[in-house]
C-alpha cells in the first residue's frame, strides 16, 4: 500500500511538473490555466518537393494527380484563454505566402507557377476537460474546432467552406513524462462524408526548470492515412512568463510535407 501511495504521489508530481494543471491546447506542449492568457506569435516555413495536386482542383480542368514543388511562409498568431479550470478558448490566424511549381509531366493549361498570399486559416476552438486525472484513470478532454471560410477565390490558400471538427484526447502522467493521444472527426467535402481526421501521440517532459521537450507522431488529416509527420520541439523560459518556442516537423511519408519548422515566442499573462 505504501508503494502504491508513493507511485500515485510521483505521478501527480510528474503531471504538475511537466504540464501544470491547465487544459491542453491545440499547440504541442502548451497548457492554459484558469485566468491565464497565452499569446503565441510565430513564424512557420514549409517545403515539399513532391506536393500532390490535381489541375482540376486548381481550375485547369484535368482530373489527374501530379507532384509539384511547394513552398510557403506564414506569420501566425495563436491566443488561448482559460475560462475555468476545465474550459479554455483559443483562436489562431495567419498570413501566408505560398507557391506551387507545376510538375514537369503536367500537360494541363496550368501555368508553370501559381503564387498566392493573404490572410488564411482563421480557426477557433473550445477545449473542455471531461475527466480529471487521478491514480486510477487518465485525464480525458474534448474539443471542437471551427474553421472560417477565407480567400474563397484563391486556389492554394483559400478555404471556401465552414469546417467543424470535434475530437477528444487522453492524457496520462508518468514519472518519465506525460503522454497524450488525441483524434479528430472531420467532414470530407470531396466525398461528402464524415471521416476520422488527424491523430497524434505526444510526449512531454520538463528537462530542466527552464527547458521543456515535446515529441509527437501525427497524421491522418482529411481522413487520409498516407501523411504522417514526426514533430519535435522545445520551449525555453527566457524570463518569468516569457518563452521561446521552437518546433520542427519532418515528413515520414511521400505525401507528407518534407520539412516544416516553426519559431516563435509565448507570453503568459494573467494568473
CB 13 within 8 A of CB 224: no
Query: CA separation (Å) from 245 to 30, 94, 124, 169?
Result: 10, 17, 21, 23
- pLDDT tens-digit series, residues 238-267: 999 999 999 999 999 888 999 999 999 999
- Per-residue model confidence (pLDDT) at position 161: 86
Q: Please state, in angstroms and rounded to a whole number, the distance separating the CA atoms of residues 158 and 102.
A: 18
Which CATH number characterizes residue 249's domain?
2.40.160.40
Residue appearing with cell numbers 501523411: 227
- pLDDT tens-digit series, residues 4-26: 444 444 444 555 567 878 999 99
Q: Please state, in angstroms and rounded to a whole number, the distance separating the CA atoms of residues 104 and 45.
A: 24
Any idea what the Cα angle at residue 217 is, between residues 211 and 220, rounded to 5°? 140
- Whether 169 shows a pLDDT value over 60: the answer reads yes
Tally of domains within the chain: 1
Query: pTM (2 decimals)?
Result: 0.90
CB 195 within 8 A of CB 223: yes
- Per-residue model confidence (pLDDT) at position 195: 78
Which residues are CB-neighbours of 49 under 8 A, at least 6 positions away? Answer: 69, 258
Q: What is the span of the domain harbouring residue 126?
A: 2-270
Amino acid at each position: 500500500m505504501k508503494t502504491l501511495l508513493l507511485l500515485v504521489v510521483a505521478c501527480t508530481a510528474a503531471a504538475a511538473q511537466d504540464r501544470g494543471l491547465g487544459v491542453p491546447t491545440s499547440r504541442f506542449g502548451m497548457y492554459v490555466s484558469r485566468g491565464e492568457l497565452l499569446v503565441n506569435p510565430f513564424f512557420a516555413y514549409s517545403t515539399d518537393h513532391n506536393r500532390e495536386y490535381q489541375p482540376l482542383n486548381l481550375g485547369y480542368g484535368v482530373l489527374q494527380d501530379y507532384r509539384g514543388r511547394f513552398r510557403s511562409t506564414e506569420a501566425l498568431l495563436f491566443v488561448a484563454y482559460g475560462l475555468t479550470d476545465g474550459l479554455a478558448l483559443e483562436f489562431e490566424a495567419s498570413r501566408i505566402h505560398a507557391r506551387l511549381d507545376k510538375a514537369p509531366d503536367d500537360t494541363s493549361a496550368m501555368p508553370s507557377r501559381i503564387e498566392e498570399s493573404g490572410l488564411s486559416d482563421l480557426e477557433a476552438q473550445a477545449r473542455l476537460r471531461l475527466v480529471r486525472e487521478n491514480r486510477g484513470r487518465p485525464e480525458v478532454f474534448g474539443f471542437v474546432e471551427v474553421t472560417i471560410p477565407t480567400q474563397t477565390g484563391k486556389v492554394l490558400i483559400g478555404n471556401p467552406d465552414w469546417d467543424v471538427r470535434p475530437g477528444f484526447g487522453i492524457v496520462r502522467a508518468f514519472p518519465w513524462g506525460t503522454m497524450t493521444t488525441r483524434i479528430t472527426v472531420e467532414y470530407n467535402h470531396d466525398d461528402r462524408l464524415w471521416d476520422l481526421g488527424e491523430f497524434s501521440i505526444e510526449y512531454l517532459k520538463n528537462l530542466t526548470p527552464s527547458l521543456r521537450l515535446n515529441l509527437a507522431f501525427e497524421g491522418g488529416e482529411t481522413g487520409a492515412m498516407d501523411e504522417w509527420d514526426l514533430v519535435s520541439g522545445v520551449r525555453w523560459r527566457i524570463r518569468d512568463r516569457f518563452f521561446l518556442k521552437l518546433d520542427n516537423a519532418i515528413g515520414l511519408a511521400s505525401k507528407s510535407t518534407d520539412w516544416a519548422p516553426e519559431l516563435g515566442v509565448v507570453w503568459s499573462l494573467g494568473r
